[in-house]
Structure 1
Amino acid sequence: MELRDIEIFLVLAEELHFGRTAERLHITPSRVSHVIKKAERRIGAPLFARTSRTVDLTPLGERLRDNLLPAHQRIQQAVDQAVAEARGITGTLRVGYSTPWCADLLLKAAETFRARYAACTVQIQEIQLNDPHGPLRRGDLDLQLSELPVAEPGITVGPTVLSDSRALLVPAGHPFAQRENVTMEDLADIPLIIPGGLPDYMTAVHLPTHTPSGRPIPRGPVFTYWAEVLSLAAAGLGAFPVSVRGERYFARPGVAFVPFLDAPPVEYGLLWPTAGHTPRAMAFADLLTDLTDF
C-alpha cells in the first residue's frame, strides 16, 4: 500500500463513513472506495464490513489498523519535524493567558504542538490584569490569548478564538444574587470593583461608567490580582463583570454569578508583537484556531 492509501485506510477506520473520510481528506468518496477495494484485492480479504447503513472494520481490518497506526504516526512526526526545522519552528515559544479557560485551551494546543514540532518547546504563563500587555510589549512573550479589544502600538491583534456570555459576580448577600439575571441598567445599583492599570478603552468596554440610559455606575475598590476580586465581592464591597465560564472556575462561598440579559459577549483573541512575530508563533496560532469551535 502506498503512503496515501494507508492514510485513507486509517482515516476510514476512524470515521467509519466514506463521505466523512472523503471530506476530511479533500477527495471524493469514489476515490476512498477505489483505494479500499484495491487494498482488499491485494490482501485477499475484506477490511471493512459494509451495509447500506453502516461501515465496520472486520477483525482483519482491526489488526491491520493496529499495526499500521504507530508506524504511520512515526512517519508523520518525522515529516513534521523536518518541515518545522526548515521553517524555523524550533526553540522555545512563550505564550501568555489571562483566564483559566484560556489556559486550558493553550495547554491542549501545546500538547498537540509539541507532538507535531519536536524541536520546539512551549512555555505558558499567566498575565495580570494590572499589566495586560506589558509582557508582550517587553518581549517576554511571543503570543498571548486574552480579552479584546486591544489597541496597542506595536501589538498585532489576530483572530478571535473564544467568545462567551457575561455574568455579574456579586456578593452572595446582595439582592442581585437571588435573581435569574441582571441587565446593564442594574449596574447603576452596585459599585464595580476596578482593576488598576487596565487601559481606558478596555475599561470603557468591560467596566462602563454609565448605563445605556445614562445613569452613572458607581466605582468600588481597586484591585491588582484576581484573587482580590473574590474576596472584595464576598465582603460586600462590589461586583465585577465576568465570563459565564467563570462560575465553573471561581465559585466559592460568599459570591454568586448572575447572567446578563443584554451585555455584549466577552471575546478572547490572539495577540503578538508586530515586529517580532516568528514562524513558531504563527504555527501555534494556526493550530489554536483549528482546535476551537468558535
Structure 2
Amino acid sequence: MLERFELETLFALADELHFGRAAARLHVSTGRVSQTLKQMERRIGTPLFTRTSRTVCITPAGQQLHDDLRPAYDQLRAGLQKAMAATGVVSGVLRVGYTTLWCGDLVVRAADVFRMRHPDVDLRIREVLIHDPLGALRAGELDLQLSEFPIDEPDITTGAVVLNEPRALLVPADHPLARQDTVSLEDFAEAPLITIAGDIPDYWQESHFPSRTPSGKPVPRGRAVTYWQEVLPEVSAGKGVTAVCARAVHHHMHPGVAFVPFRDAPPVQYGLMWPVGSESARARLFMDTILEVAEAARTPR
C-alpha cells in the first residue's frame, strides 16, 4: 500500500516532469522527492520515471500506475475537502514569521489572500531577527517561517524555495569597488567582511559570508554585528563590506554606501520551514497561498 505522500509525489512528478517544480508543489526539497520516488520504485519493483540531467519522463509502468490510482485519489481528496469545509476544520491560530522586509512584503500579501479564503483562521505575523533565525520555531512561538536557506537541522523541516534573489556587495561609497558595474566572489578578499553574530549554523554563515574565495584566498573578517541596523553605519564608516540580497537597495538605502551586484554568485534562496512533525492543515494551506502569490508576482502581466 502506497502512503499519501508517495501518491502525491507520483502525481506531482507526472504533472510537472520536473523534480524542482514537483518539490515546490509538495513544499519539500528535491532530495525528498527523489528519495520518495526511489522508495516507491523499490517497493513496486520497476522504474516509474526515467531521468537525465535535462529531462524527466514517466515510464509505461509509471503511467499505468498513475492512471489507475488518480481517480480514486482525487475522489478521496475531494471528500476530505468537503468534510473540512462542512465541519470548519480550517480554523485556529497560525503564526508565521519572516526575516527580511521583502519576505515580509510577500507574507503580508499572501496573508490578505489567505484571510479572505479562510476567515476562521487567526493568522498572526511577526518578524524574526536574523541573529537567531531558528529560535522562535524551536521555542514553539511560530508554526511556519519564510527566511534564508540553507537550513539543514534535524528538528526543522524545509519546504519549497519561494524566492531566488540576486546577490550584491554592500561597500563604502568611496571604495574602489563602488566604481565597478559588478563584482566577483574573488573581491571578498579586498576588504574586511562584516558578518552576523548569533545563534546561526556554521554552514549558513559560510554560505552567506564565506571564509575563502573560490580560488582559496582568505577573506578578512570585520566586525560581527547582531542586528541588520548595525551593518549600514559600519559599512558607511569604511569598516568593511558585506554580502546582501540585491533587493536590499530598495529597502535599506543609507548615506555613504553603494550596492554593487555580483556577476558570479548564486542567488540567495528564501524558503519555507517549520518544526518537524508540526505541519497542520492551516500551515499547508498558507504554504499553497504564498507560493501562488509569489508565482503571480513573477508572471508578466
Give the structure-2-normalised TM-score. 0.69
1:112-154 per-position Cα deviation (integer Å, ceiling 9, x unaligned) = 1111111012111111121111101111000000000101121
Residue 49 of structure 1 corresponds to none
Q: CA deviation at 1:88?
A: 2.7
Gaps of 5+ in 1: 1-79
State how far apart, in whole Å, the 1-side matches of 2:230 and 2:86 are.
Answer: 44
Equivalent residue runs for 1:67-86 within 5 Å: 83-84=84-85, 86=87
Residue 190 of structure 2 corresponds to 189
Q: CA deviation at 1:84?
A: 5.0
State how far apart, in whole Å, the 2-side matches of 1:120 and 1:162 are.
Answer: 25
When residues 85 and 136 of structure 1 are mapped into structure 2, their CA distance, relative to the original with a 3 A threshold, is: farther
Tell me the C-alpha RMSD between the 2 structures. 1.7
SS at the partner of 1:108? helix
1:232-261 per-position Cα deviation (integer Å, ceiling 9, x unaligned) = 111111111111111011112111100001
State how far apart, in whole Å, the 2-side matches of 1:125 and 1:238 are.
Answer: 30
Residue pair 1:192, 1:217 contacting (<8 A) in 2 also: yes
Residue 199 of structure 1 corresponds to 201
Residue 228 of structure 1 corresponds to 230
Residue pair 1:142, 1:281 contacting (<8 A) in 2 also: yes
| Matched letter for residue 126 of structure 1 | E
When residues 233 and 219 of structure 1 are mapped into structure 2, their CA distance, relative to the original with a 3 A threshold, is: same
Residue pair 1:102, 1:146 contacting (<8 A) in 2 also: yes
State how far apart, in whole Å, the 1-side matches of 2:275 and 2:173 are.
Answer: 41
SS at the partner of 2:142? coil
Q: CA deviation at 1:82?
A: 8.1
Residue 290 of structure 2 corresponds to 288
Q: CA deviation at 1:222?
A: 1.0
1:34-70 per-position Cα deviation (integer Å, ceiling 9, x unaligned) = xxxxxxxxxxxxxxxxxxxxxxxxxxxxxxxxxxxxx
Residue 25 of structure 1 corresponds to none
SS at the partner of 1:96? strand
Residue 275 of structure 1 corresponds to 277
State how far apart, in whole Å, the 2-side matches of 1:131 and 1:81 are.
Answer: 40
**2:268 maps to 1:262:** no
Moved more, 155-164 or 82-91: 82-91
SS at the partner of 2:141? coil
**2:104 maps to 1:99:** no
| Bigger Rg, which one | 1
SS at the partner of 1:250? coil
| Matched letter for residue 267 of structure 1 | Q
When residues 185 and 120 of structure 1 are mapped into structure 2, their CA distance, relative to the original with a 3 A threshold, is: same
| Matched letter for residue 174 of structure 2 | G
SS at the partner of 1:263? coil
**2:171 maps to 1:166:** no
Number of residue-to-residue matches in the alignment: 215
SS at the partner of 1:213? coil
Give the structure-1-normalised TM-score. 0.70
Residue 57 of structure 1 corresponds to none
When residues 235 and 85 of structure 1 are mapped into structure 2, their CA distance, relative to the original with a 3 A threshold, is: farther
When residues 186 and 121 of structure 1 are mapped into structure 2, their CA distance, relative to the original with a 3 A threshold, is: same
SS at the partner of 1:141? coil
Q: CA deviation at 1:87?
A: 6.3
Gaps of 5+ in 2: 1-80
